């Protein structure tokens, strides 16, 4: 009954057209009937330092990730889109052979519902992450790109758009369901407990010229402690993110962009993860 009441309440919200909507909005919601897509190629660079007793262990990772999103303006208030990525990375640790992770990543299905539109904007966010199969670790250390488990995310975003500038703050809570890793070298399937993570992000978009923009963002990710079926404990982690992106709005329906994201984390913040990306957004 509570779900039915919520559905009826949402259905009774007044209809409105997206006001002053632009393809590069921080809180993008297209007009009803609009087809949307974006394609992004990312280059990954990762390095970390740790110690096993007095021995220093260095780990490096390089690779690429190709991401495709496709979406549709279901109504003037509701934007739905799916996301799929192909990953190829290689990593090397001190005293160990190089390993490779290759394949499609988890499928993500997203929805953004606009509840307040105008100078101020307020959206509800939802995402379902689906892992088509188990995470697999081969005997030589290579792996696929699946997480081995599904996830559910809910969140909200509030922002303001005035003229050629805008800012937005968003927060989301993800519940990662139990995941399975098929460890071929050990000949067993390892189960990871369900656990939660919290994401917070603040972003600002300002104009460099009429059709050139600079987006800056800061974010933090918290993951709670969890165990696996071998009683190994993954301690809670905190990651800090900083990103910038230069955007060129070539037309009302086409945007070209490039930028970077730096991620700092680990025990004693001993690793740095860099993602350099270039992409294009389009709508019809």
Q: Annotate 213-252 with b (16+ C-beta within 10 A) or e (fewer).
A: bebebebebebeebebeeeeeeeeeebebebebebbbeee
- DSSP annotation of 228 reads B
pLDDT for res 48: 83
Q: How far apart are CA 177 and CA 6, in angstroms?
A: 25
Q: How far apart are CA 157 and CA 199, in angstroms?
A: 12
Label residue 284 exposed, middle or buried (CB < 10 Å: 0-12, 13-18, 19+).
exposed
Distances (CA, A) of 108 to 6, 70, 82, 221: 24, 11, 6, 18
Q: How far apart are CA 93 and CA 111, in angstroms?
A: 39
Order of strands across the sheet that contains 188-192? 135-137, 179-183, 188-192
pLDDT for res 15: 43
Mean pLDDT in order along the chain per 10 residues (284 residues): 39 48 95 97 89 74 97 97 97 88 97 96 98 95 96 98 94 97 92 96 96 98 90 85 98 97 79 94 97
pLDDT for res 18: 52
What is the three-class DSSP state of 222?
Answer: strand
Q: How far apart are CA 245 and CA 44, in angstroms?
A: 16
pLDDT for res 231: 74
pLDDT for res 234: 82
pLDDT for res 267: 63
pTM score, two decimals?
Answer: 0.88
Pairing verdict, β 179-183 and 135-137: parallel
Q: How far apart are CA 72 and CA 226, in angstroms?
A: 36
pLDDT for res 1: 41
Enclosing H/E stretch for 254: strand 254-265
| Contact (CB, 8 A) for 182 and 136 | yes
pLDDT for res 54: 64
β-partners of residue 124 are 113, 156
First and final C-alpha spacing in the chain = 39
- DSSP annotation of 74 reads -
């Amino acid at each position: 009954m509570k779900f039915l009441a919520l559905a009826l309440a949402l259905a009774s919200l007044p209809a409105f057209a997206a006001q002053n909507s632009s393809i590069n909005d921080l809180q993008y919601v297209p007009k009803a009937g609009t087809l949307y897509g974006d394609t992004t190629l990312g280059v990954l660079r990762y390095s970390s330092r740790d110690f096993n007793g007095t021995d220093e262990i260095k780990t490096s990772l390089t690779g690429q990730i190709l991401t495709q999103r496709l979406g549709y303006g279901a109504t003037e208030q509701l934007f739905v889109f799916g996301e799929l990525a192909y990953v190829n990375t290689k990593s090397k640790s001190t005293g160990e052979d190089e390993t490779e992770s290759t394949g499609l990543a988890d499928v993500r299905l997203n929805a953004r519902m606009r509840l307040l539109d105008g100078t101020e904007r307020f959206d509800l966010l939802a995402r379902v992450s689906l892992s088509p199969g188990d995470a697999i670790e081969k005997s030589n250390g290579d792996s696929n790109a699946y997480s081995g488990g599904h996830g559910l995310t809910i969140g909200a975003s509030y922002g303001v758009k005035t003229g050629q500038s805008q800012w937005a703050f968003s927060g989301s809570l993800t519940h990662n369901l139990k995941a399975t890793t098929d460890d071929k070298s050990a000949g067993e399937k390892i189960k990871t407990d369900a656990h939660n993570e919290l994401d917070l992000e603040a972003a600002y978009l300002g104009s460099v010229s009429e059709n050139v923009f600079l987006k800056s963002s800061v974010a933090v990710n918290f993951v709670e402690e969890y165990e696996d079926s071998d009683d190994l404990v993954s301690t809670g982690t905190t990651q800090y993110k900083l990103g910038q992106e230069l955007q060129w709005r070539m037309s009302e329906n086409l945007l070209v962009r490039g930028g970077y994201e730096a991620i700092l984390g680990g025990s004693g913040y001993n690793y740095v993860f860099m993602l350099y990306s270039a992409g294009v957004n389009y709508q019809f």
